[in-house]
A and B are shown apart, each in its own frame.
Chain A
Amino acid sequence: MIPETSDNYFEKLMKRRTFLGHTGFGLGSAALASLMAGDSAMAADEPAPGRMGLAGFPHHSQRAKRVIFLCMAGGPSHLETFDFKQKLADLHGQPMPESFTRGQPIAQLQGQELRVQGPMTEFRRYGRNGQTISDFLPWHAKMADDICIIKSMVTEQINHDPAHTFMNTGSAISGRPSMGSWINYGLGSESDNLPGFVVMTSVGGRNPQPIASRQWSSGFLPSRYQGVEFNNTGDPVHYVRNPWGLDRSMDRSLTDAIRTLDGVRNRKVLNPEIETRIAAYEMAFRMQASVPELMDLSDEPQHILDMYGATPGDGSYASNCLLARRLAERGVRFIHLYHRGWDHHGGLVQYMNTCCGLTDKPTWALLTDLKQRGMLDDTLIIWGGEFGRTPMFQGKGGAGRDHHIKGFSMWMAGGGVQGGISYGNTDELGYHAVENPVHVRDLHATMLHLLGIDHRRFSFPFQGLDMRLTGVEPAHPVSGILA
């Protein structure tokens, strides 16, 4: 860990001081810039003037400026969404051929008889290239030409918690930064009054997946890059509202008094860290207005609310999709939305109806709304869970499927991704990704590539290693899906 010690700031600000001359309080804006994004105290070089990310970033031209990651937590079944397998229907009810499962990790089906479970819905072809999409997702069908379906995803972790950690941080070991933190660290934020990495979770669905704040931790990166959770109930950001209910003028006079007194003290003790603190209070003050303004949907016309199916303040996935668009408009770099109802060990049809009912249309609305505002071109949308589900039957309360990591589906759309195509394939039973496998590391490399970052040249020193989001194993941007 490289703490943000006062020494780091001191070094940083000593350089700045030389640059700015002995301007005393004039340092505020420089400190502010460093606070918002560009943590050059951590980087080898000063950021280029006018930019707030790392020097030399982006490495190449950006196809996407921001990411909206739609996480279907629990692991949606690829076999009931995008990956149709006739053979699965043919073998339904028969023993699962051992050639597929021998020596493979198994979650809840350990020690049980493994039987093939045929598809539990119908599939049709949509769009100019005939994308295969199931009947659970009628609104996805409408955007078949916009999305690129990756049918050959592979991950390494078979239980939810480590699988999320792996998907978000590239490692199952706790304490690594999540991708939203990495991206803000590299590119900086484009917002003056909102955090660059925002996380929202949605209500509704079946018994929800627990999700840890580790999933949006900045790990060994500086704390300022951590994801900030926006809440649907209570304060939208912890402590952003004064529980006392005082007017804005009182917040202002208090913040002013704190700033003045900190400044007076600083003239005596010459501590550059105080400048950063003053900037933090300024941003806190602005967030007290900007966050409620963001969360207030009253300026959205009814037809937009209807398009998403959003009822302001209900905490639904629909409302969160609309908020995601508003965050994207305000320059937030990484927006991570969780819907937590996708762990369908049993009753899969019933729960797919529930979860798709809650998410299908809002997802379409988000993509379509961005598109009609011209923002889809530089926004990357990623949809998927932490893993897929087994071709084998599991029967906890009606037919369902167990966790599955050797082949599953995700999709990407927007900035720099070809729409209307499918990429890769699983085998005839949807077990193993056999054609163009895309590892989670490749997904990360692709996402970074679209953001203008070469994943191999994006590291941070920790425990003596140059840590990367993509780790040490080979990882490659998936060139076959790039527009």
Chain B
Amino acid sequence: MIQFLFRNFRARACHAHGRPGAAMALTVTVAAVIGGLAPGRAGAADDGASQTPATIDFNRDIRPILSDNCFFCHGPDRSERKADLRLDTLEGATANSDSGGTAAIVPGNPEASEMIARIFTQDEDDVMPPPDSGKSLTAEQKDLLRTWVKQGAVYATHWAWEPPQPRAVPESRAAAELPSATAIDRFVGRKLDEAGLNFSDRADPVTLVRRLYFDLTGLPPSPSAVDAFAAAPDEQAWMSLVGELLSSPAYGERMATWWLDLVRYADTVGYHGDQDHNIAAYRDYVIDAFNRNMPLDRFSAEQLAGDLMPEPTTAQKIATGYNRLLQTTHEGGLQPKEYLAIYAADRVRNVSSVWLGSTLGCAQCHDHKYDPYTMKDFYSMAAFFADVDEARHFREGTNSLPTKRPPEMDVIPVSRQRRIDTLQDQLKRILNGSPKSTAGTDRRAAEIEAAIEELRSQKVRTMVTESVEPRVMRILPRGNWLDESGPVVTPEVPEFLGSLNKTEAGAGRASRLDLAGWLFAPGKEGGIGELTARVFANRIWYMLTGRGISESLEDFGGQGSPPTHPELLDFLALEFMESGWDIRHLIRTIVQSHTYRQDSVGSGESRQTDPLNRLFSRQSRYRVPAEMIRDTALEVSGLLVHEPAVTSIRPYQPDGYYRHLNFPERTYQHDTDRNQWKRAVYMHWQRMFLHPMLKAFDAPTREECTARRPRSNTPLASLTLLNDPAFIEAARHFAGRTLLNQRLHNDRLKITWMFRQAVSRSPDPETELPVLTQLLADAREYFLAHPGKAEKITDIGLSRSEWHQSPAELAAWTQTARAILNLNETYQRN
């Protein structure tokens, strides 16, 4: 049994809690709820946060100020600490107070506290933070610190390292007014009560269906799906729609997009020659895992350490491709030791970002500036992966396409294996069901056998993890790989979070499997499962509401954003963990709430009082991610091929886009078969030159973990929707499909039908229909006058229109379709 202690922090927290008069109640003013959540960051001063809350909460009100302004010099990093003063612990801040010397903080006595004197002084030589730090405190922040000291300078364990506690679901006036309120609504409602706000109304059925489709499948709904729900939008219909979407194959594809960003999945090595490497079977595994609702703990363990499991299956070996996803170099003149150090750091950054929500990666050259991670923690984490065979490509790697990055395996991908299994079941039924074989059944059986054989023969090569004798892992002074003077470390979890105690107990070296176990085991069993649960519950919440309960999805440390609804976050985390890490259950729990189903425009009151929607007084709205943009245009047009792709697909791409790649030189051949129109999750991910369409809509290069993508609105994105041949082809196909539809016998019906395909509602006859009608008329006139131009529309893209009656008419409708495929609303999740 491994030991699990919140060592230093637990002790300190107890000390702080034990102080007389330390009120920990959560009564706060409205201003603090809305404006004072992250005083160091987003312009809190505008929203009336100058009122100091009645009772100060250290984690919410004080830590962000101290962390951002003080900890760099007076924090956990010993080597940088100035004046031997640390302010991140009560002991440090109050040192000297007993001996009669000057103490930075004298609890209860701001006048005697040097820190308070130094932040208020006008003397430039004495003032803190010093002017050359570029930091300064606002008047409100200074007042808050003074009040906090006056109230006793109560410290608390950083929220993210305090395990979630079971929370009583609170009463809420706002929630009570709802026809049905879930626990989530009561947590959210409680904060709304305090702010004197109400929930926004439930969104209209059309918006709800669109939202749910985008969130759970990454695709827009068909008009018939919208109609079906809108006809009877009751509770049962909603939950049955939720169930239907969660079990559709598109769900796994949508979730994979999220996961592949976190683990930085790409099809190329990322450095220098950016050669292809063999890893697509890993993506296939991820999609399959989501579609089977594999619990997160098992999903994670298979990726981190599937090779160490007893008699690992092929799928588990494929999963260990995770450990090979980092950027590697195949450049001549590389220094293997240097790159092994770079690879080790890359892994620590990713593992700690993905599962710990931490910036442990910052402790490569020095102890962490803000959080209690030490350099030893960093290299001890790296040591878990010292057995991953990653040095072979230094000798065996080539400039071929793909390059060689052994160890690799030839495997039947998981999704293909499932088809084989299905066929074998069929075969069994045929053979068992008809004892007397007939010519028909014999033929059928033979066909199935042949199909199975065919599928079995199509193996693909994929990188896997093989465990070798662990490399010696040393602490590298200042991160310098040439310096071998640092002490050797063995695998261990960050010290302040506990210990695996492998070496002490004589149980031998801790493994990646032990690490995976520790990440998900509950505290009572020595793990940090509750903390991990909080990291992921927050991310799923973000996926479904557009804002994390803690906004810094990737950083739960002292410089991250404290949760706006800590009790809700704890509730979701425990709900998730206790469900057996059931991701679908967590999603179902959230989408069932009124909070999820609110309108995204919100009332004037909601927008005014809660402009940043920190209280979740309405739903969020945003442009969908890059992959969904492509998928939506293809789906709306009718071009989307709803089939998985085991190897990466290559859509159209500007000629010469890879001309800067070398070793070897690269030419890009776009797919000429059905792969051209498959979903974007399958797109070839070239790290050094990501497809311009993906890039224009903020898809990451996947060199590092991405928990939140930016959502930009740039001219390059506009140009992409306007002129990328994939989108023009989609417009033409959309137009052709419209013209083929016999029931649409006039322009108005056609436009209306097209509009509904794209945005799930009919155009307004006064304000919208005339705009498109006019565009169509202008285009008709133009193409009749320029028949050559009209005919050119058929040159774009590989698909062929089945409607041939008039090039000018097809071109004019294509132009109309382009307008619809460029609308903000088409790609808006709201």
Binding site for B on A (CB under 8 A): 1-7, 10-11, 14-15, 35, 44, 103, 105-108, 110, 158-162, 173-175, 195, 201, 207-214, 217, 222-224, 228, 231, 233-235, 237-247, 249-251, 253-255, 257-258, 260-262, 264-265, 268-271, 273-274, 276-277, 280-281, 283-284, 287-288, 340, 402-403, 456-457, 459, 461, 463-466
Contact = CB atoms under 8 A, between A and B. Distances in A.
B823 A105 contact: no
Interface in B427-447: none
A253 B555 contact: no
Contacts, number: 267
B768 interface: yes
Contact of B559 (A2, A160, A212, A463): A463
Contact of A212 (B274, B613, B830): B274
16 contacts: A5-B711, A7-B620, A35-B713, A110-B335, A161-B329, A175-B704, A223-B698, A244-B793, A246-B789, A253-B775, A264-B767, A264-B768, A265-B825, A269-B601, A284-B722, A463-B362
Nearest to A173: B704
Scoring B334, B701, B793, B824 by chain A CB atoms within 10 A of each residue's CB, the highest score goes to B824
B767 to A, nearest CB: 5
A7 B612 contact: yes
Given A260-B771, A273-B713, A464-B558, A243 B359 contact: no
B824 A158 contact: no
Nearest to A464: B559
B715 A283 contact: yes
Closest 6 CB pairs of A and B: A464-B559, A107-B333, A174-B703, A212-B688, A108-B333, A284-B718
B538 interface: no
A271 B600 CA distance: 10
Contacts of B611: 10-11, 14
Contacts of A239: 654, 692, 716, 719-720, 722-724
Contacts of A15: 46
Nearest to A15: B46
A213 B690 contact: yes
Interface string B759-799: 00000100110011011001100100010010011001000
A210 B782 contact: no
B713 A276 contact: yes
A308 B335 CA distance: 40
A119 to B, nearest CB: 23
Contacts of A251: 722
B401 interface: no
B687 to A, nearest CB: 8
A210 B270 contact: no
B550 interface: no
A8 to B, nearest CB: 9
B701 A174 contact: yes
Interface residues of B, number: 107
A294 B274 CA distance: 32
B689 interface: yes
Given A250-B815, A269-B621, A287-B719, A464 B331 contact: no
Nearest to A466: B134
B722 A463 contact: no
B668 interface: no
Contacts of B335: 105-107, 110, 158-159
A103 B703 CA distance: 31
A463 B819 contact: no
Contacts of A284: 715-716, 718-719, 722
B548 to A, nearest CB: 11
A11 B698 contact: no
B807 interface: no
Nearest to A265: B825
A415 B362 CA distance: 37
A233 B659 CA distance: 10
Given A238-B692, A273-B623, 11 more contacts: A158-B338, A223-B714, A239-B716, A244-B789, A247-B786, A250-B779, A253-B779, A257-B771, A261-B823, A273-B824, A459-B134
B815 A280 contact: no
Contacts of A243: 723, 725, 728, 796
B775 A257 contact: yes
Contacts of A11: 42-43, 611-612
A234 B654 contact: yes
B712 interface: yes
A261 B771 contact: yes
A5 B553 CA distance: 14
Contact of A210 (B134, B274, B718): B274
B202 to A, nearest CB: 16
A165 to B, nearest CB: 9
B612 A464 contact: no
Contacts of B660: 201, 208, 210-212, 340
Given A161-B272, A213-B689, A238 B719 contact: yes
B688 A213 contact: yes
Nearest to B782: A250
A5 B546 contact: yes
A223 B620 CA distance: 21
B746 to A, nearest CB: 20
B656 interface: yes
B559 A465 contact: yes
B716 A238 contact: yes
B622 A5 contact: yes
Interface in B704-758: 704, 706-720, 722-725, 728
A222 B717 CA distance: 14
B404 interface: no
Contact of B723 (A208, A241, A265, A466): A241
Contacts of B559: 463-465
Scoring B332, B554, B601, B719 by chain A CB atoms within 10 A of each residue's CB, the highest score goes to B719
A106 B703 CA distance: 26
Interface in B497-535: none
A108 B332 contact: yes
A457 B270 CA distance: 32
B55 interface: no
B110 interface: no
Contact of B43 (A44, A217, A241, A457): A44
A161 B271 contact: yes
A144 B42 CA distance: 50
Contacts of B723: 239-243
Contacts of B725: 243
B321 interface: no
B664 to A, nearest CB: 10
B775 A254 contact: yes
Nearest to A3: B710
B708 A3 contact: yes
B370 interface: yes
B768 A465 contact: no
A280 B688 contact: no
A253 B812 CA distance: 12
Contacts of A274: 824
A214 B824 contact: no
A159 B819 contact: no
B775 A159 contact: no
B409 interface: no
B314 to A, nearest CB: 32
Contacts of B369: 464-465
B488 to A, nearest CB: 20
B710 A4 contact: yes
Contact of A258 (B621, B789, B823): B823
Nearest to A458: B134
Nearest to B273: A210
Nearest to B332: A108
Contact of B134 (A2, A159, A457): A457
Interface string B654-689: 111101111100000000000000000000000111
